[in-house]
Amino acid sequence: PEFSTFCLPFSLVYYSLVTLAVQNAALSIVMHYSRVSTPPSLAYSPASAVLLNELLKGSISFVIALSRTRELADIPWRRMSLWEIICSLPYPWTAPFWTLCGEIFSPDCWKLSIPAILYVIQNSLQFVAISNLPVASFQVTYQMKILTTAAFSVALLRKKLSSTKWLSLFFLAIGVGIVQIQTSSVSAPKNQSVGSAHDSAPLHIHVMSPLKGFGAVTAACFTSGLAGVYFEMVLKNSKADLWVRNVQLSLFSLIPAFLPILYTSTPTSPGFLSGLLRNFGMWAWATVAIQVFGGLVTAIVIKYSDNILKGFATSLSIVLSFLASVILFDFRITPSFVIGASTVLCSTWMYNQPPGKEPLSIVLTSAN
């Protein structure tokens, strides 16, 4: 539905958007730390992380979808004793299970293959970008996905954006640009990770290639915009359940996620599984967990809201990650950061004004 999230402060979507902003900020920081805090010889494989992300997300979505099947809801659980529930478990699970499998492998499931491939590429590019850029630069540049998302929404979903909405997008880009300028002037030396001078944990010297990082982040902005809008198109043009769509998305993602792994080793070779999880320490698992959680929340936001609004919510994460950088990495807040972040916040407010109450339309009406 066409929606004004910020008018529904206690709705699920409102919480999802705030959660997504926090999740985005946490992901950049944890993912960056997980990549730069170990020497390259002890680094975990990003391909394994992408695969694990899809496996976990798909499994969680499957369980949620299963719990929502009608057969399972029709069972009078409340009137049954615990013993009856245990005794009847083998049967009630099988019927909903097969119903769900039928829904997952429906004739139109192939539609999810396109966003699935794009998301795997995006998730892999994210690792390249975050390993080669300071957290702040990555975060801010990644916000350009809002513009690609708006462009794809107009092109594919035939969304009409009012002049106020375009103007707020323009201001958003300017705000991001201003923050970007401050980032490059105060960020860490090019060949060191951000925070290494201040962080109490010993970070290893990690050679970063900003050009590679910016190239990866730019490509990720395009795949993010296209994948998100395509997923929204599939979701809103059919009645299939969100969680079934999510399982389909993860299933199709498994193929491209497996390819780079198969390139280096074969599943039948001894030690394949332990090789997959080699060097997976606490930070690597935390990265995967935050990604899985973010994927699930993203799906909810796309379903009940839209991609453009999701972009605005995640742009708030810039402010959160900078605040975290101040606390964790002794980052300095400069006037240009305050101006840039305020521009982002104002444009977010402007974008979310309900039709008729938009600042620009008020100006135009009073002029008439």
User: Where along the sequence are the contacts to ligand C5P (CB under 6 A)?
Assistant: 57, 119, 122-123, 145, 224, 228, 231, 246, 249, 294-295, 298-299
* Residue 3 burial (10 A CB sphere; 0-12, 13-18, 19+): middle
**Which residue minimizes CB distance to ligand C5P?**
295
Contacts of 204 (CB under 8 A, 6+ apart): 36, 37, 38, 39
Task: Return the beta strands (E) in the chain as ranges.
Answer: none
CB of 293 to ligand C5P, least distance (A): 10
Residue at 368: amino acid letter: N
Q: Which residue, 66 or 292, is less far from ligand C5P as judged by CB? A: 292
CB of 42 to ligand C5P, least distance (A): 25
Q: Which residue, 110 or 272, is less far from ligand C5P as judged by CB? A: 110
What is the C-alpha R_g of the chain? 22
CB of 152 to ligand C5P, least distance (A): 11
Please state, in angstroms and rounded to a whole number, the distance separating the CA atoms of residues 217 and 210: 10
Per the listing, tokens 């970007």 go with 180
The angle formed by the CA atoms of residues 181, 182 and 188, to the nearest 5 degrees, is 105
CB of 221 to ligand C5P, least distance (A): 9
Per the listing, tokens 């444009």 go with 347
User: Which tokens belong to 259?
Assistant: 């390819």
Q: Which residue, 179 or 235, is less far from ligand C5P as judged by CB? A: 235
Q: Which residue, 195 or 295, is less far from ligand C5P as judged by CB? A: 295
CB of 70 to ligand C5P, least distance (A): 23
Q: Which residue, 297 or 350, is less far from ligand C5P as judged by CB? A: 297
